[in-house]
Chain A
Amino acid sequence: MMVIFHPTILIHVLMKTVNLQFNEEKTIEHLVHHLPSQLTLKDFVHHNSLHNFQDKEFFEGIFSASKIFGIQVTFNLNEYRKLHRQGRIRTDIINQVITNKKGVSHLEAFKQKMLEHPYKHTYNPRIGKLRANWKKQYKIDLENLVQPLLFRIIGSYLDQGIAIWHFPFEEKGLINALKILEQKSLTSFFKTKKAKRLLLSDDLSIEKLLKILVGNESYYENYLFDQQFSHKGWSGLVSAIEGTPETLFYRKKVHLKDFILLELLLEYDALEKTLGNHWEPLATDYPIEAEDYFAPIEFGEMEEVLQLWQEAFEWDYYDEVLAGVAKLAESKRHIQNVETSFQAIFCVDDRECSLRRHLEYIDPMCETLGAPGFYGAAIYFQPYKAQFYEKNCPVALTPKHLIKEIEISKKRDHEVIHSKNSHTFFKGFLYSMSLGLWAGFRLFRDLFNPKMQPDIADAFSHMDVKGKLLIENQDPNHIENGLQVGYTIEEMVDIVSSLLKGIGLVDKYAPIVYVVAHGSSSANNPHHGAHDCGACSGRPGAINARVFAYMANHLKVRAILAKKGLIIPEHTQFLPAMHDTSSDEVGYYDQEILSSENARHHQLHIDTFENALGLNAKERARRFASIDISKDIKHIRNEIKKRSVSYFEPRPELGHGTNALCHVGSREKIKGLFLDRRAFLQSYDYRSDPNGDVLLQVLSPLPNVCGGINLEYYFSRMDNEKMGAGTKLPHNVMGLIGVANSSDGDLRPGLPLQMIENHDPVRLLMMVEHTPEIVLKTIKSSQAMYDWFDKKWLHLVAISPEDGKLYYFCDGKFERYNPLLKITTTSDILGVIETAGEMKSNHILDATKENISVQIYSDKI
């Protein structure tokens, strides 16, 4: 009798009874929850690809996803074992992981299981089982018969500007538009009259169609899951657009419900056409009871072993990092007596980690800081004469302000190759006859002397470099589409003070504080948004940097700030800039505001930046096979720049590949620690925040932004085919909203192979410089944030400034962590970079070898 009250079984029973009755709304809600939520590619924002399992503990969540959807969520045993054999997973780490998880007494038993025990892999996802019976029972391949036309219709319907002839009546909604088309046209999308009649019937509903196709109500939900997950790309996009219609400039009215209706109708049509009267609803005599796809799953020993392996894979790296951090934490903090030459605030982005290191290397007197790259300015941006707004802030925020560009210095060029006219008949003839030879010439020019073109995504063209912005609100009633145009002085004060306090920049101002945003230029790259600033909804962040600098320079703002105790010296000026992470160039904005003395300083700092960019380019180039890094820096920079404008280069940059760490604390404390561009760096000064109030504000965007990036890379790497977009090379742009592989293929959300191939899929290790008590108190103050750490989607370590020791967060409390490894030191970090190996293939066994181990470099610190 005890068994009945076992909670999982109870849930099981409950869910089954619920399932028996079909509730359309609930089922659709359930579907939307599980479908990919990626928006159109122009709004590429990183997010946890398995957000639908985030209510579970990490491993339980991912293994459930694996069993339900048939995705790979870890490497396979063989790969882990090989990683162990080649030294990537150390034995002492394996011992430590087993001891921590299973207890010392089980050490040998589990070690044997991990290293030797044979396990049989099975592939038997729950989703898809029911609908597979069409083929089994009737030898009919419904997917082949339905999907090509279905994708064509929805693709044409949502198309933003590839087709010359648009889908008519799109303002009426998908099903209504189809109804008008079917009524008025002399032809039909359907092969049978019956299907057409069904479409036009008054009581058309999902339930009615399911009754015809499936028959038995208890299977309806499963059937819809099978159906929609056989093409989760399109279904996901439809539901994402339904939720966020502004992701399309050319708005389309679309509902997942309509899309399902259309698919059911096409299925009915195909069955009628192929089988005539010789078919019955699928579940008429279905022998197996309706299964609850999302019922708890019993995991076997293999999952246990895989979990141990993955943890060992992660801890092997974390241990190395923590050894370095611990060593530096013990050392005395540098106290700067000399005056700072300049300060530069960068985005927390892991790609800025190396540029900051090189700046500090070249000019030891400078100070670099990190903050999320929208710099507190959550805005919509309207470029000059643009018809739409672009969101430039983290995706979770809803801006209330609009920043308008009111003057520009140069016009945008056109690219005739992409003209729609080239696809019409007579003009197409004229185009090919007149441009054909020129295209041939261009092809060779692009190959041997690539240059910036109008159709290359240029980070610096997002906003005119010399354009004028309307930043200060003139009149509180100046509102456009519900958005206030510009910021009031009071709002500016809030933004400036909270950002500066957050990063601990409250005194010792240098004459120039650079606010360095970042963006990325790349050619022939539909995923270019994934390379831009994640804190700016996948767009270049220059606009935000300019807005912030304007605020911080504003005299009225400074006056109020001074009253509140935040004194920015009069001679200090904030200068906006942007780093192109792909071409490794920095552009400066509004330089004319500089005082003559600062302008002089600025000229010197430009050289510092240029030199640092040279070293940065060299460090990045070590991972690019096409560049020989033994050559001089000028050559390397030139090559790097070429990559960013080469149509033939699917890897203009490697994005966030290899990201693994996030440090929240003072830069001084980890200066001299070589992290190989793998760390998000957020500045924070615990000394000015004994209670952790500022910490909460600093921490709160990080799990979503950094964790989202990290987990998207994790899953895209573990299963690049089902969770990622696969290789980019065959990608075909669909409707300007996404990419598919084939003319008849499903959309491919997720990251392409070329972005994740050098990534070691480990969860993000977040290191916060404060006492464990304060960190615990801080994360507990927000349930959402607490769950990220408690459920292990992110790791958390507190670097206690009191004793210089490390504390790892586990099972609701912080425990001491003593690194096993002794950290290596080097006196020549550039030499280490130059001699690092290059991966032979993009298989993890090769790829992981390319990473340089953590080391402390002693020179210049």
Chain B
Amino acid sequence: MNSLLPILLLVPLVSLLVGFSFSNKNEKAIYRTSIISILVNFVTIISLTSYWITHDFEYIIFKGPTLYHSSEIDFSLNLFIDGYSLAYIFVATLLTGAIIVFSKNYIHREKGYKRFFNNLKFFYLGLMLVLLADNLEILFVGWEVLGVTSFFLIGFYRERYLPVKNALKVVSLYRVADIALLLGIWITHHYFGHSISFSNFEGLQNTESHVLNDAFYHFMIPSVFLIAAMVKSAQFPFSSWLPRAMEGPTTSSAIFYGSLSVHIGVFLLIRTAPFWENNLWFHFLIGGIGLITCVLATLTSRVQSSIKTQIAYSSIAQIGFMFIEVALGLYWFAIIHFTCNALFRSYQLLVSPSVLSYRIHEQLFHFIPPAAQKTEGLWNRIKLSIYVLSIKEFNLDIFMFRYLWSPLKTIGNSFKFVKSRTLIYSMAPLFILGLYTVYNQDILSLFMLKHLPEIFAGLGLMLILKSFVERDSSMVSWILIVVNQLFLSLAFGFNEEFDFNQIHIFLSGILVAGILGIWILNRLKIRGEDISLNQFHGHSYEYPRLAFLFIICCLAIAGFPITPTFIGEDLMLGHIHENQFPLLILVVLNLILDGLVIFRIYSRLFLGEHKKGYHEFAYRSS
């Protein structure tokens, strides 16, 4: 029976690849390939469920091929199913199927018909990876797929400003969750000395000796997973992205942000429960976050005048409740709550346009003017204050901007005195020197060897900060990123016992993508197009193919799991020692920022308003 597990992944994958081959006008074929894959999966799940029930609810485990193997790391395609994931998969497949049928007519004749279905299938594939993953590596791959498909579906209407802006906003927040998860992989590798397997995992009992004391791990490991879960499930203080993600067609909002994508944090918490179950503080922490979210989201939802935003916030409040349930150890209850809430909110979103005629009609007969608000007394003043705060969403929307991106921008701007171009030129000899020393490490003193990784990572971070604040040329920004990646690999090169194969895996992806990216930018430039970064250009209107190629390059550079770069990234992170905190922080910042910069370059060049004036395009505000 366990051989059925990979089918759940292979079917949507094949369907996705086949989906690419149709033309946008061939709606029937696009629809049929999509629905067939979901049907096959559905049948598979039914068989798996009956097997699972008849076999004493035991895990169904599939040992897959090993993608990479070394003494510490075992990156295998291992899958497993337990009750929780089975329930989630069941709901996910059912809803995806329903949404596909719904969208068949709903998306009819839309410019991005094919794009929509491909994204939906890609999303479903990512979700399956997360739900079926037996180890963190596979889970991470799925997690990244969810993030990227979110970017595409939020920015589905890529010729308008707001969808693109919000897609960028959401994806930059998701990046934080991604890196948190990546850190989770790093820290568990160090703690256990090997990749962990969810299916056969007992928690934080460990016999290996560590450089740092156990308390650190017991705090760090659950923390990073909690952060990842909070971001994806829009918990306090990361709530405000959810309503802003409702930019795509109503069907995609319903399935992503009404249900499947936004509840995944709850699943992650349940999946990683062994890490924190024995730590009472974490029960309080998770419950506390859930509680705060409940309160704030409920209040915000009460004052919303737009229906999708209101549904988004009431859904967030329910997810906050699920966090509390998880903190209380009521996992099954949380899963049932998820099932009901996911179906309910999806449905509410799908029929949300009906609210206008329905409630107006209600009002015609049953309107009661609300009682006048009083102004005297402390309680009334507090009520008014809460009203104002709720309208402003408790300032959560500017929170990320103010406390994360703004400071980084300020730091980046402090390198103003160096010209970006000068920087690139001066880095070249430095890099060659570095490269030489990597291969001839014996010429350096021990002290130098110890600190060189940090120096190179620091240089890399400087490059990326520079790229982050670059406003003029996308070419310069792009090259800065590529060069940064080279420096990053140098930094690892100095870490002892380094396997050069790994760096080669890493670089193979980076270099190909980097050079292809330069070629694309150059091509645009030769055609006389504006490739500056100070505004959106919407070049995908005239160059859809280049846009597609370029996004592939971007994903490769960002370490998205479609090129070897990803494995390299994961592996190299493993080479940062537990006590190399400065290096770790430098690298983490680097990874967060490079994702941001890369998505920004893509968005500014290929998305947004295409202002050539010979065709219609929307106002910025619409």
- Interface positions of A (Cβ within 8 A of B): 41-42, 71-72, 76, 78, 121-124, 143-144, 147-149, 152-153, 155-156, 158-166, 168-169, 171, 180-181, 184-189, 230-233, 249-250, 383, 385-388, 390, 412, 415, 417-418, 422-425, 428-429, 431-437, 439-440, 442-444, 447, 454-457, 523-526, 528, 625-626, 646-651, 718-722, 726-736, 739-746, 748, 757, 840-842
Asked if B373 CB lies within 8 Å of chain A CBs, one says yes
Residue pair B160, A741 in contact (C-beta under 8 Å)? yes
Residue pair A440, B388 in contact (C-beta under 8 Å)? no
Query: How far is it, in angstroms, between the C-alpha of A523 and the C-alpha of B617 when the chains are bound?
Result: 28
The residue among B107, B344, B388 with the most chain A CB atoms within 10 A of its own CB is B344
- Contact flags B152-174 to A (C-beta < 8 A → 1, else 0): 00001100101101100000000
Residue of A nearest to B380 (CB): A184
Residue pair A423, B359 in contact (C-beta under 8 Å)? no
Asked if B425 CB lies within 8 Å of chain A CBs, one says no
Which residues of B are found within 8 Å of A745, using beta-carbon distances?
Answer: 162, 621-622
Asked if B363 CB lies within 8 Å of chain A CBs, one says yes
Query: How far is it, in angstroms, between the C-alpha of A703 and the C-alpha of B564 when the chains are bound?
Result: 67
Q: With A185-B384, A733-B355 in contact, is A432–B344 under 8 Å at CB?
A: yes
Query: How far is it, in angstroms, between the C-alpha of A152 and the C-alpha of B615 when the chains are bound?
Result: 31
- Contact flags B236-278 to A (C-beta < 8 A → 1, else 0): 0000000110111111010000000000000000000000000
Residue of A nearest to B247 (CB): A742
Which residues of A are found within 8 Å of B302, using beta-carbon distances?
Answer: 163-165, 423-424
Which residues of B are found within 8 Å of A734, using beta-carbon distances?
Answer: 305-307
Choose, from B45-53, B311-319, B585-593, the stretch at the interface.
Answer: B311-319
The residue among B298, B364, B611 with the most chain A CB atoms within 10 A of its own CB is B364
Known contacts A455-B355, A733-B353; 9 further A-B pairs (Cβ under 8 A): A156-B303, A186-B381, A249-B364, A250-B363, A387-B366, A443-B102, A721-B618, A728-B353, A730-B248
Residue pair B162, A741 in contact (C-beta under 8 Å)? yes
Residue pair B384, A181 in contact (C-beta under 8 Å)? yes
Which residues of B are found within 8 Å of A76, using beta-carbon distances?
Answer: 614-615
Residue pair A432, B249 in contact (C-beta under 8 Å)? no
Listed A/B pairs (19) with beta-carbon separation below 8 Å = A148-B397, A164-B302, A186-B382, A230-B620, A249-B363, A250-B363, A387-B366, A418-B359, A422-B314, A424-B314, A425-B321, A436-B340, A439-B347, A457-B357, A647-B350, A649-B106, A719-B616, A730-B156, A745-B162
Q: With A162-B304, A162-B306, A740-B306 in contact, is A432–B345 under 8 Å at CB?
A: yes
Query: How far is it, in angstroms, between the C-alpha of A29 and the C-alpha of B319 when the chains are bound?
Result: 49
**Of the residues A185, A720, A729, contact of B110 by C-beta under 8 Å:** A729
Residue of A nearest to B243 (CB): A743
Residue of A nearest to B366 (CB): A387
Residue pair A455, B619 in contact (C-beta under 8 Å)? no
Residue pair B314, A730 in contact (C-beta under 8 Å)? no
Q: With A147-B621, A184-B380, A185-B387 in contact, is A123–B358 under 8 Å at CB?
A: no
Asked if B352 CB lies within 8 Å of chain A CBs, one says yes
**Of the residues A42, A180, A650, contact of B106 by C-beta under 8 Å:** A650
Asked if B429 CB lies within 8 Å of chain A CBs, one says no
Residue pair B385, A185 in contact (C-beta under 8 Å)? yes
Which residues of A are found within 8 Å of B528, using beta-carbon distances?
Answer: none
Q: With A72-B615, A746-B619, A842-B109 in contact, is A732–B356 under 8 Å at CB?
A: no
Residue pair A185, B166 in contact (C-beta under 8 Å)? no
- How far does the Cβ of A660 sit from chain B's closest Cβ, in whole Å? 21
Residue pair B98, A447 in contact (C-beta under 8 Å)? yes
Residue of B nearest to A436 (CB): B340
**Of the residues A143, A439, A625, A735, contact of B306 by C-beta under 8 Å:** A735
Q: With A168-B387, A184-B375 in contact, is A418–B358 under 8 Å at CB?
A: yes
Residue pair B358, A121 in contact (C-beta under 8 Å)? no
Residue pair B343, A436 in contact (C-beta under 8 Å)? yes
The residue among A181, A434, A454, A651 with the most chain B CB atoms within 10 A of its own CB is A181
Query: 3 closest pairs, A vs B, by CB?
Result: A436-B340, A123-B613, A168-B373
Query: How far is it, in angstroms, between the C-alpha of A265 and the C-alpha of B109 when the chains are bound?
Result: 43
- How far does the Cβ of A71 sit from chain B's closest Cβ, in whole Å? 8
Asked if B390 CB lies within 8 Å of chain A CBs, one says yes
Residue pair A648, B342 in contact (C-beta under 8 Å)? no
Size of chain B's interface in residues, with CB distance under 8 A?
109
Residue pair B309, A732 in contact (C-beta under 8 Å)? yes
Asked if B421 CB lies within 8 Å of chain A CBs, one says no
Residue pair B613, A432 in contact (C-beta under 8 Å)? no
- How far does the Cβ of B254 sit from chain A's closest Cβ, in whole Å? 10
Which residues of A are found within 8 Å of B109, using beta-carbon distances?
Answer: 625, 757, 841-842
Residue pair B342, A436 in contact (C-beta under 8 Å)? yes
Query: How far is it, in angstroms, between the C-alpha of A456 and the C-alpha of B165 when the chains are bound?
Result: 34
Query: How far is it, in angstroms, between the C-alpha of A165 and the C-alpha of B310 when the chains are bound?
Result: 12
Residue pair A433, B340 in contact (C-beta under 8 Å)? yes
- How far does the Cβ of B312 sit from chain A's closest Cβ, in whole Å? 8
Query: How far is it, in angstroms, between the C-alpha of A722 and the C-alpha of B601 when the chains are bound?
Result: 27
- How far does the Cβ of A79 sit from chain B's closest Cβ, in whole Å? 9
Residue of A nearest to B312 (CB): A743
- How far does the Cβ of A730 sit from chain B's closest Cβ, in whole Å? 6
Residue pair B364, A417 in contact (C-beta under 8 Å)? no
Residue pair A720, B616 in contact (C-beta under 8 Å)? yes
Which residues of B are found within 8 Å of A169, using beta-carbon distances?
Answer: 372-373
Which residues of B are found within 8 Å of A124, using beta-carbon distances?
Answer: 613
Residue pair B307, A162 in contact (C-beta under 8 Å)? yes
Query: How far is it, in angstroms, between the C-alpha of A187 and the C-alpha of B299 when the chains are bound?
Result: 15
The residue among B309, B356, B367 with the most chain A CB atoms within 10 A of its own CB is B356
Residue of A nearest to B368 (CB): A387
Asked if B424 CB lies within 8 Å of chain A CBs, one says no
Residue of B nearest to A231 (CB): B621
Q: With A423-B310, A735-B305 in contact, is A741–B622 under 8 Å at CB?
A: yes
Which residues of B are found within 8 Å of A155, using beta-carbon distances?
Answer: 305-306
Asked if B339 CB lies within 8 Å of chain A CBs, one says yes
- Contact flags B94-128 to A (C-beta < 8 A → 1, else 0): 11001001111111111000000000000000000
Asked if B346 CB lies within 8 Å of chain A CBs, one says yes
Asked if B537 CB lies within 8 Å of chain A CBs, one says no
Residue pair B353, A524 in contact (C-beta under 8 Å)? yes
- How far does the Cβ of A134 sit from chain B's closest Cβ, in whole Å? 14
Which residues of B are found within 8 Å of A184, using beta-carbon distances?
Answer: 375, 380-381, 384
The residue among B104, B310, B390 with the most chain A CB atoms within 10 A of its own CB is B310
Residue of A nearest to B310 (CB): A423
- How far does the Cβ of B358 sit from chain A's closest Cβ, in whole Å? 4
Query: How far is it, in angstroms, between the C-alpha of A250 and the C-alpha of B368 when the chains are bound?
Result: 9
Residue pair A742, B163 in contact (C-beta under 8 Å)? yes
Which residues of A are found within 8 Å of B321, using beta-carbon distances?
Answer: 425, 429
Which residues of A are found within 8 Å of B251, using beta-carbon distances?
Answer: 729
- How far does the Cβ of B143 sit from chain A's closest Cβ, in whole Å? 25
Query: How far is it, in angstroms, between the C-alpha of A736 and the C-alpha of B355 when the chains are bound?
Result: 8
- Contact flags B591-622 to A (C-beta < 8 A → 1, else 0): 00000000000000000000111111111111
Which residues of A are found within 8 Å of B313, using beta-carbon distances?
Answer: 423
Residue pair B357, A431 in contact (C-beta under 8 Å)? no
Asked if B9 CB lies within 8 Å of chain A CBs, one says no
Which residues of B are found within 8 Å of A435, using beta-carbon distances?
Answer: 340, 344
Which residues of B are found within 8 Å of A417, using beta-carbon distances?
Answer: 347-348, 351
Residue pair B358, A415 in contact (C-beta under 8 Å)? yes
Residues of B276-309 contacting chain A, CB below 8 A: 294, 298, 301-309
Which residues of A are found within 8 Å of B301, using beta-carbon distances?
Answer: 164, 423-424
Q: With A385-B365, A423-B311 in contact, is A730–B244 under 8 Å at CB?
A: no
Which residues of A are found within 8 Å of B312, using beta-carbon distances?
Answer: 743
**Of the residues A121, A249, A528, A730, contact of B614 by C-beta under 8 Å:** A121
Residue pair A437, B340 in contact (C-beta under 8 Å)? yes
Query: How far is it, in angstroms, between the C-alpha of A194 and the C-alpha of B25 when the chains are bound?
Result: 56
Q: With A417-B347, A428-B318 in contact, is A732–B306 under 8 Å at CB?
A: yes
Asked if B504 CB lies within 8 Å of chain A CBs, one says no
Residue pair A625, B307 in contact (C-beta under 8 Å)? no
Residue of B nearest to A124 (CB): B613
Q: With A423-B311, A648-B106 in contact, is A412–B365 under 8 Å at CB?
A: yes
Residue of A nearest to B393 (CB): A152
Asked if B360 CB lies within 8 Å of chain A CBs, one says yes
**Of the residues B162, B298, B303, B342, contact of A425 by C-beta under 8 Å:** B298
